[in-house]
């Protein structure tokens, strides 16, 4: 059996959904678009900063000859629904269900590398998962995992776009695979469905306008985006939900999923301490941004759930004043939930003394709504 076939067989044993091989040649065609994204301020800021390292695999491994791209499919429907609750629930998007996909992929890449070491001598490699230098989607496309859709995600006929991606940059000489022979065609459903029009149409986007970015960005969430996140407290899946390639897809579990963590109760979520948050949610991908930002999103989600029984918790957040971003967001949420606030509510907001720009802005907007300015 040739080395390539042995590696493919090994990948199946490890639980890798799809594997592809490509050369370690430069991805020179990416340079112009990557540079434009930086210059036009469309980057999220989470990307690897050095563009040259993003397009030249041999800057990551000098002996690089072949890149092995892997995909691990994951489900987009909860295998078990969370139990009924009198609390409103928020949502983590499917890429943050179960164990952090960085750990899932890294474990499989490690097993793959250890397995290859038993097959060939003088094996050199560099593993990458999401946070590495290379552009995972570009590697996967060239290795035949799938094509890059107009939403910027890698899409395959077998698993749709619900795939985690990683790669091993290696010194092996292996025959490369070819890119797939299908694509989006004339379909523009994701462009039409995106609520913020962040998709440009050429597989690139204005990442700062993506709702997934908005749920991870620090500070106040701009007013434009608050209602659009609905009750999602981490991520955005709209451009995947509408994609025809995802219709009828029923991917296997990549990791065990607790439905209570995938769709957490919002009010209890807001009561979590730092320690409780880490203990309960620390293993999921969405936890990387920390409790405070996700709780900010949960306050917005409470307002979007439009349940007036949540008003006492909103008032408590304002009254405690422990986190300026939470207070400012809660003032906005109070204005959304309390259509006709009583004098005590108005007085509470009016009496806030703060120099925080977000609080002052939301305070003025709230009071102006009720002719108190």
Query: Residues with catalytic annotation?
Result: 130
The two tokens of residue 276 are 């409780």
The two tokens of residue 71 are 């995909």
The distance between the two most distant Cα atoms of the chain, rounded to a whole number of Å, is 80
Q: Residue 197: left (phi > 0), alpha (psi -120 to 50), or beta?
A: left
Measured between alpha carbons, how far is 179 from 238 in angstroms, rounded to an integer? 26
Q: Which element (helix H / strand E) includes 147?
A: strand 147-148
Please check whether residue 127 is in contact with residue 172, taking contact to mean a CB–CB distance below 8 angstroms. Answer: no
Sheet containing strand 163-170, edge to edge, reads: 18-23, 66-73, 163-170, 125-128
Measured between alpha carbons, how far is 277 from 263 in angstroms, rounded to an integer? 15
Please check whether residue 304 is in contact with residue 227, taking contact to mean a CB–CB distance below 8 angstroms. Answer: yes
Facing residues of 23 across strands? 66
216-240: burial string, b at 16+ Cβ within 10 Å, e else: bbeebbeeebbebbbbbbbbbbbbb
3 state DSSP class of 14? helix
Facing residues of 19 across strands? 70
Phi, psi of 165, rounded to the nearest 5 degrees: -120, 145
The two tokens of residue 225 are 């985006």
Integer angstrom CA distances of residue 109 from 5, 55, 127: 17, 21, 7
Radius of gyration (C-alpha) of the chain in whole angstroms? 23
Q: CA quadruple 192, 193, 199, 204: dihedral positive or negative?
A: negative
């Amino acid at each position: 059996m040739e080395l390539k076939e042995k590696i493919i067989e090994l990948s199946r044993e490890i639980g890798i959904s799809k594997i592809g091989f490509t050369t370690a040649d430069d991805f020179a065609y990416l340079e112009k678009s990557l540079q434009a994204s930086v210059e036009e301020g469309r980057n999220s800021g989470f990307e690897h900063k050095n563009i040259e390292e993003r397009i030249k695999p041999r800057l990551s491994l000098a002996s690089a000859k072949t890149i092995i791209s892997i995909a691990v499919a994951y489900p987009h429907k909860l295998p078990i629904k969370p139990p009924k609750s009198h609390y409103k629930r928020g949502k983590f998007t499917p890429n943050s269900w179960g164990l952090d996909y960085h750990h899932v992929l890294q474990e499989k890449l490690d097993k793959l590398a250890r397995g290859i070491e038993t097959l060939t001598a003088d094996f050199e490699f560099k593993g990458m998962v999401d946070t590495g230098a290379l552009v995972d989607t570009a590697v996967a496309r060239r290795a035949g995992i799938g094509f890059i859709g107009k939403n910027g995600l890698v899409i395959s006929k077998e698993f749709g776009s619900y795939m985690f991606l990683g790669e091993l940059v290696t010194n092996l000489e292996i025959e490369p695979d070819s890119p797939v022979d299908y694509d989006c065609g004339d379909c523009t459903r994701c462009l039409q469905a995106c609520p913020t029009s962040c998709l440009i149409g050429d597989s690139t986007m204005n990442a700062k306008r993506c709702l997934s970015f908005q749920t991870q960005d620090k500070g106040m969430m701009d007013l434009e985006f608050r209602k659009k996140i609905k009750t999602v407290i981490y991520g955005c899946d709209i451009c995947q939900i509408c994609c025809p390639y995802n219709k009828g897809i029923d991917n296997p579990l990549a990791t065990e999923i607790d439905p209570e963590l995938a769709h957490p109760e919002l009010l209890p979520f807001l009561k979590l301490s730092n320690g409780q948050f880490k203990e309960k949610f620390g293993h999921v991908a969405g936890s990387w941004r920390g409790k405070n930002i996700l709780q900010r999103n949960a306050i917005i989600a409470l307002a979007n759930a439009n349940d007036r029984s949540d008003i006492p918790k909103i008032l408590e957040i304002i009254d405690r004043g422990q986190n300026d971003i939470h207070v400012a967001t809660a003032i906005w949420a109070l204005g959304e939930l309390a259509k006709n606030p009583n004098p005590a509510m108005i007085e509470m907001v009016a009496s806030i003394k703060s120099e925080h720009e977000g609080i002052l802005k939301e305070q003025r907007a709230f009071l102006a709504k009720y002719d108190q300015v």
